[in-house]
Chains A and B, each alone.
Chain A
C-alpha cells in the first residue's frame, strides 16, 4: 500500500495538471486498485472525481469514453455494447465486478500496463486519446511517447471499426497469458497482440497480408515471424507464439 500526505480533488483539468506538476512525488489516482499494490510515498494524490469525466457519449463518427469511466461501466454501457461489444467483453474478463466498479479507464490506459486488455483493443480500433497538456493524438503515438506528467482524460473510438477480441487466461480473473484484438474497416485490418507479456504490438505485415486477402496460414506465419513474444510466470515465448495462431484462428472464424 502507498502512503499519501494529502489528497486533492481539483475542480478543473487545468487545476489538476497544475497540482500534478507541483511536486515530483505527486501522482494521479484512478480507481487506485493497482496503485495500492505499490509501496510508494506520495506527496499529493490527485483524482478526477467530480469533473464529469465519467460519461460515455457518441457522435455520428465516434464513441467517446471519459477518463474517469469505470471498467464496469464500459462492460455494461449500451453504446459500447452496440458499437464495440468486443471491448465490453475484454474488460469483463478483468478480476471481478467490485474491482471493475472502482478501476478507471483513463488511469489504466495512461499506465500502459503490459498486461492490459484494453490497450490492444484501442490500438486495433485506431482510437485516439486526449491528454490535458499534449492534446489529442492516436493511441499508437501515445504508446510511443516517453512517460511524462500529463493526464489522459478522454478516449475516442471510430465507429467505422468492427472490433474483435479474444484472450487466454490460466484461470478466470487472472491476467491474460496472451490477448489479441483485431480492428477491421472496409479497407483495413489491424491485428494487435497484447500481454506478450510486453505491451500491445501492431503486427503490420500480417495486417497488410490479411487486408490483401491472404490465407489464415500465411497471416499466422507472418504474425509468428514479426511479433516479439517473451517469457514470464504465465507463459513461455514459444507457447505464446503458438497461442498467437490459436487466437487468430478463433477470431478469423468469427469474421
Chain B
C-alpha cells in the first residue's frame, strides 16, 4: 500500500512492484497522463513530482510513495489559459502530446524567470510533437509566459 497525494487529494492504493507511476495515475482516473513512447524520450507522460517535472512512465510507483503529484487535472485554470493560446496560434493539431507539453511548460514557468526563446527550447527539448514544427507552440508559450 502506498500513499500518493495527487492534485491535493490523498490516495491510498495497492500497487504491483512492477507498476510505473503513469499506470497508477491512469488507474486512479487521471487520464490526462499519456504514453507516447517506450523509450523515455517523448515527454507525454510528464507530471510534477514534488514540484519537479518527471517522466511518469519511468518511475516505479513504489518510489513515489508519500510524494505530491500534480497532473493536468490539477491545473485547470492554467491549462485553459495555455490551451487557449495554443489553439489560437495553431499549435494544437492532433493534441495527443499537449498534456505533457503543458505540464512541462507549467514547470518551466515556475522555475525560469523571463526565459529567452533558446532557454524555452532547451527546457522543452524532452517534449516531442510529431504534427507541428514547434514554431506555433513557441508563439503560444511566449504568450502564456508573457515574455
Contact = CB atoms under 8 A, between A and B. Distances in A.
B58 A173 contact: no
A59 to B, nearest CB: 28
Given A4-B17, A5-B17, A33-B40, A98 B46 contact: yes
B15 to A, nearest CB: 10
B126 A7 contact: no
Interface stretch (B24-32, B47-55, B71-79, B80-88): B47-55
A96 B43 CA distance: 8
A32 interface: yes
B146 interface: no
Interface in B103-129: 104, 107-108, 122-127
Interface string B30-48: 0000000011110100100
Contacts of A173: 41, 125-126
A98 B38 contact: no
Contact of B63 (A49, A92, A172): A49
Interface string A100-114: 011000000000000
A97 B107 CA distance: 10
Chain A interface SS verdict (over half): mixed
A3 interface: yes
A47 interface: yes
Contacts, number: 74
A71 B54 CA distance: 12
A29 B63 CA distance: 11
B62 A101 contact: no
B59 interface: yes
B55 A33 contact: yes
Interface in A172-195: 172-173
A36 B20 CA distance: 10
A80 to B, nearest CB: 17
A49 B67 CA distance: 13
Interface string A1-23: 11111110000000000000000
Given A36-B40, A96-B125, A98-B53, A7 B58 contact: no
B60 A95 contact: no
Given A4-B18, A36-B40, A37-B39, A98 B55 contact: yes
Interface in A34-93: 36-37, 45, 47, 49, 72, 92
A37 B17 contact: no
Contacts of A7: 17, 60, 62-63
Given A3-B18, A99-B40, 11 more contacts: A4-B18, A31-B58, A33-B40, A92-B122, A96-B124, A96-B125, A96-B127, A98-B43, A98-B54, A99-B58, A102-B55
Interface of B: 17-18, 20, 38-41, 43, 46, 49, 52-55, 57-60, 62-63, 104, 107-108, 122-127
21 contacts: A4-B18, A7-B60, A31-B58, A32-B58, A36-B57, A49-B63, A72-B52, A95-B40, A95-B41, A95-B126, A96-B43, A97-B104, A97-B108, A97-B125, A97-B126, A98-B53, A98-B126, A99-B41, A99-B58, A99-B126, A173-B126
Interface of A: 1-7, 29, 31-33, 36-37, 45, 47, 49, 72, 92, 95-99, 101-102, 172-173
